[in-house]
Amino acid sequence: MDTQVSYYHLDDNSKRAYLAINQDRASSHMPGIVFLAGHGSDMMGSKAEALCTLAEEENIPFLRFDYFGHGQSDGQLLDGNLSVWLRDCTAMIDNLTSGPQILVGSSLGGWLMVLTALARKDRVAGLVGIAAAPDFTKDLIWDTLSAAQKEQMKQTGSIALPNPYADDDVIYPLHLIEDGNKHLVLGSTINLDIPVILHQGLKDEEVPWQTALRLSQQLAANDVQIILHKDTGHRFSEPGDIDQLQNSVRRLHARLRHR
């Protein structure tokens, strides 16, 4: 597997790390796949690796990259927000891919895949969400804080909350919440008419399974599937989970490829 990292320079000359394969095979009959990672994750995780394996085996164009402040890209995580990361997504798709794309978004990436699809309707042909977390800055962070915590966050500019995967707390800056409010999607119809598959674990303690239902209800598309995984948590990284993810992407790609 080719893991030679390349870098794309944005207009401000900051760089984003990416890995791309089979881009020369892209066409209207050969959609590409783009993986969008979760908050604090990078393009080297198990889900990204599994999709890269699928793309290599079936000669499908595939792109994965690190957002600003993530992985091997420039910037600090605490300086990033939805506007910055959405700019990354559109820039990478515009400049590193051609033809229709299937966006596969994990957690934060599930929010970004929706925003990117809205911003690039002519390029995005389908979506696959993995514990997709649209509006998480409001619904899963701000709205869960006490009045005292909200006031503290306003005074100090950030808040530290327990990290389920490490001893160190996760720090969320106030500007992330404020910027997230500009990109909320669950409060009105999401004007996308493309096939969507949403994978959601019922043992996910970070993104409740009801979020997948809310997202499906707000999407204008009728072709929306929700696949609930009874014993799966937020990371969605067990072998059975990965197999089902690959199967969903393979199935959706075959449908779009033969249109």
| pLDDT averages per 10-residue partition of the chain, 259 residues | 84 96 94 97 96 97 98 97 98 97 98 98 98 97 96 95 83 97 98 98 94 98 96 90 96 90
The per-residue pLDDT for 2 is 54
Predicted local distance difference test score (pLDDT) of residue 168: 85
107 is catalytic: yes
Known catalytic membership, residue 204: yes
Torsion sign, CA atoms 195, 47, 174, 11: negative
Q: Cβ distance 62 to 33 under 8 Å?
A: yes
Active-site annotation holder among 41, 73, 106, 107: 107
> Which is the catalytic residue, given 88, 139, 179, 204?
204
Give the H or E element holding residue 115: helix 108-119
Looking at residue 53, its amino acid is T
| 45-to-52, 64, 245 alpha-carbon distances in Å | 11, 10, 14
- The active-site residue out of 139, 234, 248, 253 is 234
- pLDDT for 237 equals 87
Active site residue 6: no
* Residue 149 Cα to chain centre, angstroms: 28
Q: What is the pLDDT of residue 145?
A: 96
Per-residue buried b or exposed e for 130-148, using 16+ beta carbons within 10 Å of the residue's own CB: bbbbbbbbbbebbeebeee
| pLDDT at residue 159, as a whole number | 94
